Chains A and B, each alone.
Chain A
Amino acid sequence: MARPPIDEAALVTRYGPHPNYEPPGGWQSEAQDPAQKLVPTHCCFCGQQCGIQLKVRNNQVIGFEPWEEFPFNRGMLCPKGVKRYMQSTHPDRLLAPLLRDASGFRPVPWSEALSFTATRLRQIQERHGRDAVAVFGGASLTTEKAYLLGKFSRVALGTRHIDYNGRLCMVSAGTAYKLVFGVDRAPNPWSDIPLADVMIIAGSNTAECSPITTDYVWRFHDAGGKLIVIDPRMTPITRNADLYLPVRPGTDLALFLAMMHVILRDGLENRSFIERHTTGFEAVAESAKSWEPATAGRITGVPPEAIVKAAHWFAKAERGFALHARGLEHHSKGVENVLGLINLCLATGNIGREGAGCVMITGQGNGQGGREHGQKCDQLPGQRSISDPEARRHVAKVWGIEPNEIPQAGYSAMEIIDAIHRGEIKGLLSICFNPIVSLPDANFTQEALEKLEFLGVIDFFMSETAHYADVVLAGSLQEEEEGVTCNVEGRVIHIRQAVTPPGNALPDSQIVCDLARELGRGHFFSFRSPREIFNELREASRGGIADYYGITYEKIDKQMGVFWPCPSEDHPGTPRLFEGGRTFHPDGKAHFQVTEYRESGDPVNDAYPIYLTTGRVVSHYLSGTQTRRIGALVDQYPEPRVEIHPRLAAAHDIQDKDWVIVTTRRSEMRVQAAVVRTIRPDTIFIAYHWPGSKSVNRLTHRTLDPRSKIPEYKVSACRIRKER
């Protein structure tokens, strides 16, 4: 039984979210009592991982100063970065481990919390088998923590079920890039963006979700580049687009197939590149044959002449570049959508060159590094497959165990929730993940959490998922522990410790190591610092795809980041992959992949005739556990709104700011209208950062991409009515 011990309102009163508006000591305190040091580190929000300097006084973060020397963002920040410093002394911070009791939660000593957690996990495993316990990780953790968690699950708990919230982010792109190129990383550094001639931005609200990339795109545009934006909404990046294709949600692949059709029909493909550097082209060409622009036009809602124009611009460009994000990937055909776009780049020879390529915009803080070293259900450190005997031998040796002691691949995040719901998994340890807000079909997620026999949560704030916990272990913010992350470009960067965790909160990695000791496996986790974890990680990744062996903290500082792979200490790192057209596949070639267009998993019909799509806004990050506690960011976008085109609004007698009921096959929500001409009239948009009655994820559905297991957040069928 894991229902919240007291009602939600009482938990919110006690633990927040409360908006924090001022730095410690108030706005004027720094004038009297200035900062003692400036710590150059990185923003904790989003995959851009902007450089920032935190001002520290008396072991508290009291402000920031732009870090103009860091080459990726050169001092630039978004509003989240500007206000990120408001967390470390936040009144909602958890300052001690908490055990649930009848009155809610009570603080307990660490020894009691850890021994309780270990005992419950062991009891469940003894009674129901090792795999009755699962672990959830997160892509905002440093790479050291992510690595440690993968090892903890497999070595201390011996369960095969560990997965992470990057399952909701990068897995469609990752699967596609592995299929085509044999590696999961954005292949080009961002410095290539301004050098392109024609750029496609597909399914990316770049300005709001990866704001720093905006300046790169504007510089490309200033230099005369032509910008093509593909999205059902005109997001701010569209304001300087030369061609805007308002694609219907879920139909991107049809658009790409038609562009391929036009390129081949008009003989614009790069034959010599295709012959020298690719395999599988003929089958892809065959699959595009039936995709006349008019056919795709009917499906996508994009004028056929615009499809032809986009294809011609891209194919005729000396240097074509494609940027894509969750708008392509959050689909039951997310992998195919990405493959469709990559195929266009391959057919036109646009990979592995300066200013030419195809890149994913990684979304979460350590979305790249967090998926490379072992918290994915099917991977071992170094982006190695867990089913590869060679990889198992290598990692087992580093870990000091036998290869057959490493469990085989487990369930992905959504499959773990399914297994909990059907009673197969009974215990869950979760860190840096707020599934009740971020997973689709939240009512189902809630039922699953209620069925758990044990839920342990490690977090720095009381997340909505922690309400269901038996024990909440007070962990650390990004700036409270040293480590590395990997930014959107594949650049490994150094997170410096600015302060120690407040009160009795502990660094996350220490909590995990202490738990391993409680479980009797402490001898595998004798790390005294993140640096020791990193040095083991370097060995574990050695010779793998994401090879970190040659990376050290010192080298990162000296070079302002090191791009992996970096196989030896004298190796400078690899900013651009596939130079000379050579991929990571053994044959060195890029493998074209055939794609097949199909319907979304929640199709529109007469009863649910409107597309619902979801996403982020600029002032919030993921499930909002952090940003819903920062006053300025809350004020900027306090509650979800539903974007509705005036034509659709008029058909339902809805005016701006009216309250609207949005209903899908799962549930309904009440939300205020924002009537805007910048969204397709057959589509509505709601941002997903809120829990409970404000959670659009109670409306979304559980259909997964069969290969990447990503949920289809970007298309649900719905109907709307004005609240009377």
Chain B
Amino acid sequence: MQNTQGTLDYAFFIDPSRCIGCEACVNACAECETHRGHTMIHLEFLDREHTIATVPTVCMHCHRPTCAEVCPADAIKQTEDGIVQSSLKPRCIACSNCVLACPFGVPKMKSDLEQMMKCDMCYDRTSAGKRPMCATVCPSQALAYVPMDTILRMRPEKPTNVFFFGNEHVTTKVFMMAPREVDAINVDITDFMWESQS
């Protein structure tokens, strides 16, 4: 776990195993002042035929955001607090590079607005000391915005913010809850293959 924060600072945690697929987050997201009427959350029903499992995805706010690095118009900015903002409307050329490059599949191209928009962790709220809308309303607390200390005390899982996508190593501001014995999350099958380990 790469934790750059104090344990009493508020942080954002995602625990898909708690998600009940109710879409309170999806609906609440559209109530945020910075993008009212547009929801930025992805709520996936993994495979409804086979399971009730659902997964909510907000922007992970990468420490080195791939979306910003691939943006040819330099339209995606990271503020000092580590929040990766939606594209700047005057700069965004709606090319969708960021949409394709994001390892988590977060940015949304709003073709009606010709602008990429994404979760900015409710910048209007968090920058004013309020909690993000989605994590405030989430009735299962699959999305939680609480001090690190609270999560470590209350949850059996462990927060991690280190991800491997093949050779791509990503660390993020947002934490994913993982089993206690896991330090980083691998999402490439080759990491689990005997050939790769030998």
Tell me if B93 is interfacial: C-beta within 8 Å of chain A.
Answer: no
- Within 8 Å by CB of B139, from A68, A76, A675, lies A76
- Within 8 Å by CB of A239, from B17, B154, B156, lies B17
Closest to B154 in A: A222
- Give A224 to B155 CA distance when docked, in angstroms: 10
Tell me if A317 is interfacial: C-beta within 8 Å of chain B.
Answer: no
Asked, given contacts A64-B31, A79-B26, A215-B141, whether A674 binds B20 with beta carbons under 8 Å apart, the answer is no
**Partner-binding segment picked from A23-31, A157-165, A484-492, A497-505:** A23-31
Task: List which B40-91 residues lie within 8 A (CB) of chain A.
Answer: 48-54
Chain A contact residues: over half helix, strand or loop, or mixed? mixed
Chain B contact residues: over half helix, strand or loop, or mixed? loop
Using Cβ atoms and an 8 Å threshold, which residues of chain A touch B22? 78-79, 207-208, 211, 236, 618
CB distance from B137 to the nearest CB of A (A): 4
CB pair B24–A27 under 8 Å, yes or no, is: no
CB pair B139–A211 under 8 Å, yes or no, is: yes
CB pair A222–B155 under 8 Å, yes or no, is: yes
Interface string of A62-91 (1 = CB under 8 A from B): 011010100001011111011100000000
CB distance from A698 to the nearest CB of B (A): 26
- Give A619 to B21 CA distance when docked, in angstroms: 11
CB pair A75–B136 under 8 Å, yes or no, is: yes
CB distance from A67 to the nearest CB of B (A): 10
Closest to B26 in A: A79
CB pair A656–B49 under 8 Å, yes or no, is: yes
Task: List which B11-46 residues lie within 8 A (CB) of chain A.
Answer: 17-18, 20-24, 26-28, 30-31, 33, 36-37
Asked, given contacts A27-B37, A76-B136, whether A208 binds B27 with beta carbons under 8 Å apart, the answer is no
Asked, given contacts A75-B136, A78-B139, whether A28 binds B36 with beta carbons under 8 Å apart, the answer is yes
CB pair A79–B27 under 8 Å, yes or no, is: yes
- Within 8 Å by CB of A68, from B18, B23, B136, lies B136
- Within 8 Å by CB of B137, from A63, A75, A235, lies A75
Tell me if A518 is interfacial: C-beta within 8 Å of chain B.
Answer: no
- Within 8 Å by CB of A222, from B23, B138, B139, B156, lies B156
Closest to B48 in A: A676
Using Cβ atoms and an 8 Å threshold, which residues of chain B touch A30? 33, 36
Interface string of A185-222 (1 = CB under 8 A from B): 00000000000000000000001100110110011001
CB pair A678–B136 under 8 Å, yes or no, is: no
Using Cβ atoms and an 8 Å threshold, which residues of chain B touch A208? 20, 22
Tell me if A677 is interfacial: C-beta within 8 Å of chain B.
Answer: yes
Using Cβ atoms and an 8 Å threshold, which residues of chain B touch A240? 17-18
CB pair A214–B21 under 8 Å, yes or no, is: no
CB distance from B124 to the nearest CB of A (A): 10
CB pair B50–A207 under 8 Å, yes or no, is: no
CB pair B36–A27 under 8 Å, yes or no, is: yes
Interface size on B, residues (CB 8 A): 33
What is the interface residue range for chain A against chain B?
A: 35 or more
CB pair B36–A82 under 8 Å, yes or no, is: no
Task: List which A231-256 residues lie within 8 A (CB) of chain B.
Answer: 234-240
- Within 8 Å by CB of B141, from A27, A218, A675, lies A218
CB pair A81–B137 under 8 Å, yes or no, is: yes
CB pair B28–A207 under 8 Å, yes or no, is: no
Asked, given contacts A75-B131, A76-B136, A78-B22, whether A238 binds B27 with beta carbons under 8 Å apart, the answer is no
Interface string of B149-174 (1 = CB under 8 A from A): 00000111000000000000000000
CB distance from B4 to the nearest CB of A (A): 26
Asked, given contacts A81-B137, A218-B141, whether A678 binds B24 with beta carbons under 8 Å apart, the answer is no
Closest to A66 in B: B136
Tell me if B186 is interfacial: C-beta within 8 Å of chain A.
Answer: no
Tell me if B97 is interfacial: C-beta within 8 Å of chain A.
Answer: no
- Within 8 Å by CB of B49, from A81, A218, A235, A676, lies A676
Closest to A27 in B: B37
Closest to A82 in B: B27
Interface string of B111-151 (1 = CB under 8 A from A): 00000000000000000000101001111110000000000
CB pair A619–B54 under 8 Å, yes or no, is: no
Using Cβ atoms and an 8 Å threshold, which residues of chain A touch B139? 73, 76-78, 211-212, 214-215
Tell me if A636 is interfacial: C-beta within 8 Å of chain B.
Answer: yes
**Residue among A76, A239, A646, A676 with max Cβ neighbours from chain B (10 Å):** A239
- Within 8 Å by CB of A236, from B20, B28, B141, lies B20
**Residue among B21, B31, B156 with max Cβ neighbours from chain A (10 Å):** B31
CB distance from B89 to the nearest CB of A (A): 14
Asked, given contacts A79-B23, A219-B154, A618-B22, whether A238 binds B52 with beta carbons under 8 Å apart, the answer is yes
Interface string of A633-677 (1 = CB under 8 A from B): 000100000000010000000001000000000000000001111
Using Cβ atoms and an 8 Å threshold, which residues of chain A touch B54? 236
- Give A211 to B138 CA distance when docked, in angstroms: 9
- Give A138 to B41 CA distance when docked, in angstroms: 36
**Residue among B20, B28, B33, B138 with max Cβ neighbours from chain A (10 Å):** B20
Pick 26 A–B contacts, CB within 8 A, sort by A.
A27-B36, A28-B36, A66-B133, A66-B136, A75-B136, A75-B137, A76-B138, A77-B28, A78-B22, A78-B139, A79-B26, A79-B27, A82-B28, A83-B27, A211-B24, A211-B139, A211-B140, A214-B140, A215-B140, A219-B154, A236-B52, A238-B52, A239-B17, A618-B21, A675-B49, A676-B50
Question: Given A68-B131, A78-B22, A82-B137, 16 more contacts at CB 8 Å?
Answer: A27-B37, A30-B36, A31-B36, A66-B131, A79-B24, A82-B28, A207-B21, A211-B20, A211-B22, A211-B24, A222-B154, A222-B156, A234-B52, A236-B20, A236-B21, A236-B54
Which 5 residue pairs spanning A and B have beta carbons closest together?
A: A27-B37, A207-B20, A236-B20, A211-B139, A77-B137
